[in-house]
C-alpha cells in the first residue's frame, strides 16, 4: 500500500510540475508578444527614416534584425498555440485560403537561409487547386517549421522540395529534403513535445516545432506524418480538408 501511495504521490507531483511549466510558458510568452511587436514596428520606422538607411551594409543589418525578431515572434505564437490547442480550444480564425499562397509565403520567409547553404528549393504546385478553410497564419507557420527543419538537416548544395496536390476531399502538402532521414526510433514520437529529430547537441532546438505542427494540423481536422525515402532524406506530409 505504501508503495502505491508513493507512486500516486509521484504522479501527482509530476502533473503539478507539468502544469506549472505550462502556466509559466504561457505567461512568459504572453508578456513577450507585445514588446516584440513594438520592436518590429520600431525597426520599420527607423529603417524608413534613418539617413543612409539605403546603404547596402546598413540595409543588411536591418534585414538581419527584422528576420530575427519575426522568427522570435513566430516562436512565441506557436508556443501560445500549443497551450491553446492542448487545452482543447477550437481554431476560430478561419478563412478561405489558396494552398499555393501558403507555400510561396513559407519559401519567401526562409529562402535566405537555404540560399546561404546553396540548397536548391523547388516547388511542385499544380494549377487550379481547391481552396481550404483554414487559419492562414497558423498553416504558414506549419510550413515554415517544416521548411526550417529541411534546411537544418539538408547538407550544403542539397535539394528541398515543397509540394501540394488535391487528394479526394483533402489537400496534401509535403516538404521533402535530402538530409540523413529520421532515426527509425524517433518516427513514432517525432511529433511529441520536447522530442528532437537529432540527438546531436550541436543541432539546436527545443523539440516543440513539430509538436506545434501536429496540433495545428489536427486542429484543422487533418493528419501529419513523416517517412524516410528510399533514395535518402525525409518527407513530411500533412493533409487539410478542402473547402
Cα distances (Å, whole numbers) of residue 210 to 89, 95, 114, 147, 214: 19, 23, 19, 11, 6
**Domain span at 68:** 2-86
Which cell is 15 given?
502533473
The arithmetic mean of pLDDT across residues 27-55, rounded, is 68
The number of domains in the chain is: 2
Q: What is the pLDDT of residues 176-213, one digit of tens each?
A: 999 999 988 888 889 987 666 655 544 555 568 899 99
CATH number at residue 62: 1.10.287
Q: What is the pLDDT of residue 197?
A: 60
Distance (Å, rounded) from C-alpha 122 to C-alpha 143?
14
Chain centroid to CA 94? 19
* 28 CB burial (10 A radius; 0-12, 13-18, 19+): exposed
CB 96 within 8 A of CB 133: yes
Whether residues 105 and 73 share a domain: the answer is no
Q: What is the pLDDT of residues 158-183, one digit of tens each?
A: 999 999 999 999 999 999 999 999 98
Q: What is the pLDDT of residue 27?
A: 61
Residue 214 has pLDDT above 90, yes or no: yes
The arithmetic mean of pLDDT across residues 72-94, rounded, is 81
In terms of Cα–Cα distance, which of 215, 213, 208, 203 is closest to 236?
Answer: 213
Q: Domain end: 57, 86, 115, which one?
A: 86
- Please measure the distance between the N-terminal and C-terminal CA atoms of the chain and give it in whole angstroms: 56
Average pLDDT, the chain: 83
Q: Domain end: 34, 54, 86, which one?
A: 86
Whether residues 177 and 114 share a domain: the answer is yes
Give the β-pairing of 170-176 and 132-134: unpaired
Q: What is the pLDDT of residue 104?
A: 95
The arithmetic mean of pLDDT across residues 36-59, rounded, is 71
Q: How confident is the model at residue 218 (pLDDT cuts 50, 70, 90)?
A: very high
Q: What is the pLDDT of residue 173?
A: 98
Q: What is the pLDDT of residue 5?
A: 62
Q: What is the pLDDT of residues 93-150, one digit of tens each?
A: 899 999 999 999 999 989 989 999 999 999 999 999 999 999 999 999 999 999 999 9
Distance (Å, rounded) from C-alpha 110 to C-alpha 74?
12
Measured in degrees and rounded to the nearest 5, phi and psi for residue 231 equal -85, 0
Whether residues 173 and 214 share a domain: the answer is yes
Whether residues 41 and 111 share a domain: the answer is no
pTM, two decimal places: 0.76
CB 134 within 8 A of CB 195: no
CB 153 within 8 A of CB 234: yes
Whether residues 60 and 146 share a domain: the answer is no
The arithmetic mean of pLDDT across residues 238-243, rounded, is 93
Whether residues 35 and 56 share a domain: the answer is yes
Amino acid at each position: 500500500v505504501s508503495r502505491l501511495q508513493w507512486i500516486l504521490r509521484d504522479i501527482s507531483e509530476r502533473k503539478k510540475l507539468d502544469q506549472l511549466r505550462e502556466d509559466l510558458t504561457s505567461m512568459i510568452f504572453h508578456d513577450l508578444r507585445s514588446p516584440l511587436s513594438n520592436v518590429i514596428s520600431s525597426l520599420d520606422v527607423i529603417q524608413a527614416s534613418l539617413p543612409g538607411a539605403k546603404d547596402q551594409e546598413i540595409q543588411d543589418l536591418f534585414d538581419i534584425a527584422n528576420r530575427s525578431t519575426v522568427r522570435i515572434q513566430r516562436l512565441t505564437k506557436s508556443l501560445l498555440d500549443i497551450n491553446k490547442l492542448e487545452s482543447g480550444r477550437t481554431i476560430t480564425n478561419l478563412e478561405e485560403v489558396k494552398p499555393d499562397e501558403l507555400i510561396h509565403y513559407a519559401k519567401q520567409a526562409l529562402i535566405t537561409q537555404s540560399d546561404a547553404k546553396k540548397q536548391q528549393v523547388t516547388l511542385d504546385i499544380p494549377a487550379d487547386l481547391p481552396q481550404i478553410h483554414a487559419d492562414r497564419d497558423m498553416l504558414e507557420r506549419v510550413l515554415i517549421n517544416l521548411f526550417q527543419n529541411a534546411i537544418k538537416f539538408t547538407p550544403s548544395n542539397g535539394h528541398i522540395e515543397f509540394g501540394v496536390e488535391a487528394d479526394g476531399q483533402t489537400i496534401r502538402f509535403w516538404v521533402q529534403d535530402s538530409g540523413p532521414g529520421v532515426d527509425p526510433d524517433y518516427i513514432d514520437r517525432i511529433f511529441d513535445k520536447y522530442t528532437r529529430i537529432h540527438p546531436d547537441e550541436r543541432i539546436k532546438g527545443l523539440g516543440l516545432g513539430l509538436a506545434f505542427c501536429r496540433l495545428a494540423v489536427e486542429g484543422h481536422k487533418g493528419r501529419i506524418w513523416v517517412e524516410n525515402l528510399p533514395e535518402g532524406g525525409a518527407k513530411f506530409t500533412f493533409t487539410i480538408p478542402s473547402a
